Amino acid sequence: MVYQVYPRSFADSNGDGVGDLAGITAHLPYVAALGVDAIWLSPVFPSPMVDNGYDVSDYAGIDPVFGDLAAFDALLAQAHKLGLKLILDQVWSHSSDAHPWFEQSRKSREGPYADWYVWADPAPGGGPPNNWQCWFGQAAWSWEPARGQYYLHNFHPRMPDLNWWSPAVAEAMLEAGKFWLDRGVDGLRLDVCNYYLHDRSLRDNPPKAVDHPAKPHDLQAHLKNCDRPENLAHVEAIRAILDAYGDRMAVAEICSDNNLERALEYTQGPRRLHTAYSFSYLRDWPGTEGFKAIVRAYDDALGAWPSFAFSNHDVPRVATRWGGGDPVAARMFLALLLTLRGTIFLYQGEELSLPESDVPYERLTDPSGLAGWPLYKGRDGCRTPFPWDADAPQAGFSTAEPWLPADPAHASLAAARQADDPASSLSLARALIAWRRGEPAVRAGTLAFLDAPAPVIAFVRDGEGRRITAVFNVGPEARTCAPPPGEALFAEGARVEGGGLQLDPWGFAILGG
């Protein structure tokens, strides 16, 4: 089980309003006490911070806002001392336009870095070479006068795409990974791993019908600018590097029009990645049958190990996205997530049942939110400072005004306030994680769904002679279903009455037998 730390928002040790490595190190005992196996650290590399660190200008350093390499080594050593592994984000599909590679590449069509990025001549008659649209609200091509060509950026214009068709680029990115593996990190999280390669012929993406699109990006099926089958060779090369280091792993982030299909493709067999999580559970609620289909897909995919997340730094928190901000719903989703088969990713604050924050427009930093406002408010709402202490300034995150506002609604859910309350979400999270660690049927056993009236989700986990039955009411109205067998291990808003299991809104029961 992996706990995601978003460094800018976790803990500020030096009073500049931005979280840092020393702040994370100081709070690692809190993470270890959750009972998780590892932390995933979002990018901490040198960056102009156009996209809060996902625009990397040096793949072998630490941005001064977070600390330095010595601070990183101290964090890694403390994590290992506490029995935590560390997975480090790797942003290899694109770099910052401030990276020396791009500064050289944009100058001329000649030279050693000329083909390290994706360059193209204008379309006949002028304009971008094709119809590709970027995630942040504009065409995926920007003009460079020095070269007299367009460059590709699937994300922000200041985040040009690296050209993985160039062997030199592929080699350089593998060397970047080796730098951190040599330093002792235990795994790599590969940001938008399915975006490394593009269609070499630069063919247009086909249109896609969408109601109320927030951005032009939503109006096309992204079949040519990502998801290329040739990318699997690079996936296998990454796996070979990791295997050479022994006990290391990689988890791919998949963001695709075909999330589940790509996640399975990137993890099938021993030559591909250890696991991948996708946006299958990071969008709107997929419906009861849609939820089941995602889980069942792994039963038919030989050798593909699932990873599941309900929240992360890119989407509204699950308490709000699926639960409407109801704290009872947040607890139910926490229990549902921790009962699934696979590697579980828990986003910082999810254990506290934090809802999404409403960040005012004048405080937004996310370029995608600025581009999509007001229909799409971006990702800042899930990135607000972690609430450590309700009675401290900025809820204990910093002594200064934070880079994003501390949410007053989070103060009552602060970690210090929940720590000693046996009825708190934090206590529930700790209990569920400890239980999961001791239940082989839940960690790796089979999962079979039971018949239940929608929106109830019920399933059985079997393994090593142990059977766990779990029932979840994924809705704001009471439901009744057949009473499951076994002794109640966890139950909230659930009771057996009149020959049936009565489930309150967002109620759940987990039973062992």
pLDDT in tens, 418-474: 999 999 999 999 999 999 999 999 998 999 999 999 999 999 999 999 999 999 999
Q: Are residues 424 and 392 in the same domain?
A: yes
User: Tokens for 244?
Assistant: 């050479």
Query: What pLDDT score was predicted for residue 153?
Result: 98
105, exposed or middle or buried, with CB in 10 Å at 0-12, 13-18, 19+?
Answer: buried
Q: Which of 385, 415, 436 is the last residue of a domain?
A: 436
Tell which residue, 42, 51, 35, has the closest CA to residue 87: 42
CB 328 within 8 A of CB 506: yes
Catalytic choice (51, 253, 356, 380): 253
Taken in order 282, 284, 285, 286, the sign of the CA dihedral is: negative
- Supply the Cα-derived Rg of the chain in whole angstroms: 23
Asked, as a colleague might, if the bond just before 286 is cis with ω within 30 of 0, I would say no
Q: How many domains does the chain have?
A: 3
Query: What pLDDT score was predicted for residue 13?
Result: 98
Q: Which residues pair with 479 in a beta bridge?
A: 503
Q: Are residues 319 and 260 in the same domain?
A: yes
Task: Identify the H or E element spanning 28.
Answer: helix 28-34
Q: Are residues 257 and 396 in the same domain?
A: yes
Q: Which of 436, 453, 487 is the last residue of a domain?
A: 436
Q: Are residues 59 and 110 in the same domain?
A: no
- Phi/psi zone of residue 320: left (φ > 0), alpha (ψ -120 to 50 degrees), beta? alpha
325, exposed or middle or buried, with CB in 10 Å at 0-12, 13-18, 19+?
Answer: middle
Is 191 a known active-site residue? yes
Q: Are residues 46 and 80 in the same domain?
A: yes
Q: Are residues 138 and 278 in the same domain?
A: no
Catalytic choice (12, 89, 191, 351): 191
Q: Which of 163, 182, 214 is the last residue of a domain?
A: 163
Q: Are residues 356 and 474 in the same domain?
A: no
Question: What residue numbers bound the domain in which 450 lies?
Answer: 445-512
Could you tell me where the beta strands, DSSP code E, fall in 286-373? 307-309, 343-347
DSSP-assigned letters across all residues of 401-451:
--SSPPPGGGGGG-HHHHHT-TTSHHHHHHHHHHHHHT-HHHHT-EEEEE-
Phi, psi values for residue 219, rounded to 5°:
-95, 5
For residue 239, give the CATH number of its domain. Answer: 3.20.20.80
pLDDT in tens, 16-45: 999 999 999 999 999 999 999 999 999 999
Q: Are residues 450 and 432 in the same domain?
A: no
Q: Are residues 409 and 454 in the same domain?
A: no
Residue ranges of the chain whose pLDDT lies below 70: 302
Q: Are residues 178 and 127 in the same domain?
A: no
Longest dimension (CA), the chain: 79
346, exposed or middle or buried, with CB in 10 Å at 0-12, 13-18, 19+?
Answer: buried
CB 121 within 8 A of CB 213: no
For residue 124, give the CATH number of its domain. Answer: 3.90.400.10
Is 68 a known active-site residue? no
Q: Are residues 132 and 191 in the same domain?
A: no
Q: Are residues 89 and 105 in the same domain?
A: no
The whole-angstrom separation of Cα 478 and Cα 480 is 7
The whole-angstrom separation of Cα 416 and Cα 418 is 5
Query: What pLDDT score was predicted for residue 322?
Result: 98
For residue 456, give the CATH number of its domain. Answer: 2.60.40.1180
pTM for this one? 0.96
